[in-house]
C-alpha cells in the first residue's frame, strides 16, 4: 500500500518523492550506525545525526547536509568510545563534526543515488550512496514524515592513519534520517 501525504508524492513504481522545499532531520529519530570488523568480529556503534535537505526542481539539483558530532560515538563500551573519539581515530577535540554534503541526486531504475563529499578529520572524500525512502505515518498533528536510509562504505584510513593489523579496511555505514518539513 502506498501512503501519500501532503508534501510527499509517489514516484513511478510506487517510490515516494519529497515535494520541493526545505526539510530538516529530526535529531531524536535520526542516526548513523557503523560496523567495522576488528579481529574477526564486528564492532558496532552509533552517532546522532542533524542536518537538512533542500528539495528543488529539477530533483537532481537537490542538496542535503548531514552532520554527526564526533564526540557522540556510542558503541556500548566506554573504553572503545574513548578510543574512537580520541586523537588516534576521529580526534573529536580537533575535528568536532563528521559531515556529508550531497552534490548530485539521481533516480535510477533501482532507486535513488546521491553523490557527495564526506568530511572526516578536515579531509574531504568523494562518496556515493544508495538511498531508500519510506513514507512514515504522520503522528497526530506531526505532519508529513519520511525516512531516508542511506548506505555507504568508507575506508578505515579516513578515520585513522595508524596501521591496525586486525582492523578491516572497510567500514559499513548506514544513516537513518527522519525528515519533517522545515517550517
3-state SS, residue 120: strand
Query: Do 31 and 175 form a contact (C-beta atoms < 8 A)?
Result: yes
pLDDT of residue 113: 87
In this predicted model, what pLDDT tens digit does every residue of 37-70 receive, in sequence order? 887 888 899 999 999 999 888 888 889 999 999 9
How far is the C-alpha of 82 from the C-alpha of 130, rounded, in Å? 30
In this predicted model, what pLDDT tens digit does every residue of 9-27 receive, in sequence order? 445 455 556 678 899 999 9
Segment among 78-92, 109-123, 132-146 with least mean pLDDT: 132-146
In this predicted model, what pLDDT tens digit does every residue of 100-113 receive, in sequence order? 999 988 878 887 88
Threshold 0.85, pTM exceeds: no
Pick the CATH number of 8-181 from 3.30.420.140, 2.20.25.90, 2.40.128.110, 2.90.10.10: 2.40.128.110
Indicate the domain borders of the chain. 8-181
Q: Cβ atoms within 10 A of the Cβ of 164, count?
A: 12
Confidence of residue 98 (pLDDT cuts 50, 70, 90): very high
In this predicted model, what pLDDT tens digit does every residue of 134-166 receive, in sequence order? 776 555 455 667 888 999 899 888 988 877 777
Measured in degrees and rounded to the nearest 5, phi and psi for residue 77 equal: -125, 115
Amino acid at each position: 500500500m502506498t501512503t501519500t501525504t501532503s508534501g510527499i508524492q509517489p514516484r513511478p513504481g510506487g517510490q515516494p518523492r519529497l515535494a520541493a522545499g526545505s526539510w530538516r532531520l529530526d535529531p531524536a529519530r535520526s542516526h548513523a550506525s557503523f560496523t567495522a570488523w576488528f579481529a574477526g568480529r564486528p564492532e558496532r556503534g552509533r552517532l546522532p545525526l542533524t542536518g537538512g535537505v533542500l528539495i528543488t526542481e529539477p530533483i537532481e539539483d537537490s542538496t542535503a547536509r548531514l552532520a554527526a558530532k564526533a564526540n557522540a560515538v556510542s558503541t556500548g563500551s566506554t573504553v572503545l568510545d574513548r578510543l574512537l573519539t580520541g586523537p588516534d581515530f576521529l580526534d573529536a577535540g580537533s575535528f568536532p563534526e563528521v559531515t556529508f554534503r550531497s552534490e548530485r541526486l539521481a533516480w535510477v531504475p533501482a532507486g535513488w543515488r546521491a553523490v557527495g563529499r564526506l568530511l572526516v578529520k578536515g579531509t574531504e572524500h568523494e562518496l556515493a550512496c544508495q538511498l531508500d525512502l519510506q513514507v512514515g505515518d504522520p503522528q497526530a498533528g506531526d505532519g508529513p514524515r519520511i525516512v531516508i536510509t542511506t548506505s555507504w562504505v568508507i575506508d578505515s584510513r579516513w578515520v585513522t592513519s595508524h596501521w591496525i593489523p586486525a582492523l578491516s579496511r572497510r567500514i559499513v555505514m548506514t544513516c537513518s534520517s527522519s525528515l519533517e518539513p522545515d517550517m
